Amino acid sequence: MAHRVVIDPITRIEGHMKIEASVEGGKVVDAKSSGTLFRGFEIILQGREPRDAQRITQRVCGVCPTVHATASTLNLDSAFGIADKIPDNGRILRNLVLGSNYLQSHILHFYHLAALDFVDVASVKDYSGKDPQLTSVKDFIQRGVLEPFMPRYEGDYRFDKETNQILVKHYLEAFEIRRLAHEMLSIFGGKMPHNATIVPGGITEHPTVDKITGFLWRLNKIRTFIDNIYLPDVMAVAKEYSDYFTIGAGCGNFLCYGAFDLESKNPDYASRKRLFPQGVVFGLKELKPLEPDKITESVKHSWYDGNDGVYPLNGETVPNHEKSEGYSWIKSPRYDGKVCEVGPLARWVVGYFSGVKEIKSAVDNCISELGISIDKLNSVLGRHAARALDAKLVADKMAEWILELKPGEPVCADYEVPEEAEGMGLVDGPRGALGHWIRIKNRVIEKYQLVVPTTWNGSPRDENGNPGPVEQALLDTQVKDVDNPFELVRIVRSFDPCLACSVHVVNLGNSKKGIYRIA
């Protein structure tokens, strides 16, 4: 008889996510991933001035607003007919703003969301050193004040006490590094979260020697942290928990929209030259070029009415919480009808099979040090390793890009808002492939659709019964104790879910809770 395990909500992620797993004979035989809130940003945007989009869509999430600003602005560039007219300064500054958020997001995920699955914070209660940070944590634990570290599933913590204490110290140091990344973003983005400077045509902030200098010294501090702490910590976890290279394998298909434009004269986002190339890899074997018209969404098991297998711009957002077959507010994106994983691992798999020299060299060095084959990257620890490599490459490239800025030269192209137009913006964010689509009529938004990374990864079954990537990663997992299913949360968190993005709050009772004015 199967035992039903329900984890609701999954903690240490962004947003509200529920996981159900049927465990039989100690193994997961069925799994469901559910987004449990509806928000309706696509509906909010209807009838608004098109240039409101890059401001409003950033409010989808406070952790990853920058990639929404980027995708939305690429979307408007496309609709306004200026995607090939962005000045080099504008292109580079957009990359630096997005890269700053990449670094903050990756460090946040490993240290403050996922590392506590492997690091025993409670070991600090026996700390006998003089470090004020660890002494403070020790005092809290001894007084029984354990939040935010507790409650937790009691996993199989394997590091010795001294290593645990070092890793807790790095957990605390990572807050300072994240602050530096936010400051760095604010130099050219104006503020964080929800930057104010990325606009159609480029960016509104102009580079100066002082701003370049302030950005670079912060970046170099972050690079030192990545090289000397983040990467070694990920490798330490990977070696101590090497069995997690055989746990959490997903669908085996990987999709990347590409990220960080290296040119702005090619208006085609599917083929424009980018640091991370566009493409799809099926079965860790076959690389295919990205064809955006093969992107569809289904709602068979989502709480929406509508048709299945629909191109996003032709889709609708019609909520129906009474739908009998639905179990999630997340739709089911598919590429050419196939389930695809997105995120850092997908970026690195596509880059590897595309033959990008820096990516291939880094992956080969990583798997050589870990003593694994490349197929083992399709796993819990493969996702963590790819995210750390992602941070390293982006940070190093940012140090080059910042020196390519030319103070005094243009940062933005001129444009006019068209009477009617359609647009599409595709870019990879920290969590993976993000797409925005727009239709403009009478100079206002007639339709706007978002398909975000966790919509791909956290999707429910489609009309053909195919489980989404997270659901597939949970299947066949051995669960030692159904009352303490730490294996399952480790798998889910390896995807770095952002449910705030994917569920695009509604009160089904129709009573008024408050009125909010968006300026």
The tokens for 472 are: 């597939």
* Residue 113, amino acid: L
pLDDT at 476 over 60: yes
190-215 per-position pLDDT tens digit: 999 999 999 999 999 999 999 999 99
Which of 466, 420, 458, 499 has its CA nearest to residue 50?
Answer: 420
More reliable by pLDDT, 123 or 515: 123
Which of 191, 376, 202 has its CA nearest to residue 284?
Answer: 376
What's the pTM?
0.94
The tokens for 236 are: 């330490």
166-184 per-position pLDDT tens digit: 999 999 999 999 999 999 9
Task: Please check whether residue 200 is in contact with residue 73, taking contact to mean a CB–CB distance below 8 angstroms.
Answer: yes
**Hey, is 473 helix, strand or coil?**
helix
Distance CA 492, CA 469 (A): 10
Secondary element (H or E) of residue 422: strand 420-429
The tokens for 506 are: 């509604």
Can you state the percent helix, strand and coil of the chain, rounding each to 5? 45, 20, 40
250-299 per-position pLDDT tens digit: 999 999 999 999 998 999 999 999 999 999 999 999 999 999 999 999 99
| Share of residues in the chain with pLDDT > 70 (%) | 96
User: What's the rounded mean pLDDT across residues 425-449?
Assistant: 97
* Residue 197, amino acid: T
Task: Please check whether residue 168 is in contact with residue 499, taking contact to mean a CB–CB distance below 8 angstroms.
Answer: no
For residue 63, the model assigns a pLDDT of 76
The pLDDT-based confidence of 514 (bands split at 50, 70, 90) is: very low
Distance CA 294, CA 309 (A): 10
- In order, the DSSP letters of 268-279 are -TTTS-EEEPPE
From residue 197, how far is each of 31, 189, 287, 322, 478 by CA, in Å? 42, 5, 36, 41, 48
**What does the DSSP 8-state code read for residue 207?**
P
Give Dmax over CA atoms of the chain in angstroms.
71
User: How would you classify residue 469: left for phi > 0, otherwise alpha for psi between -120 and 50, otherwise beta?
Assistant: alpha
Residue 344 φ then ψ, to 5°: -55, -40
Pairing state of beta strands 198-199 and 202-203? antiparallel
Distance CA 416, CA 118 (A): 53
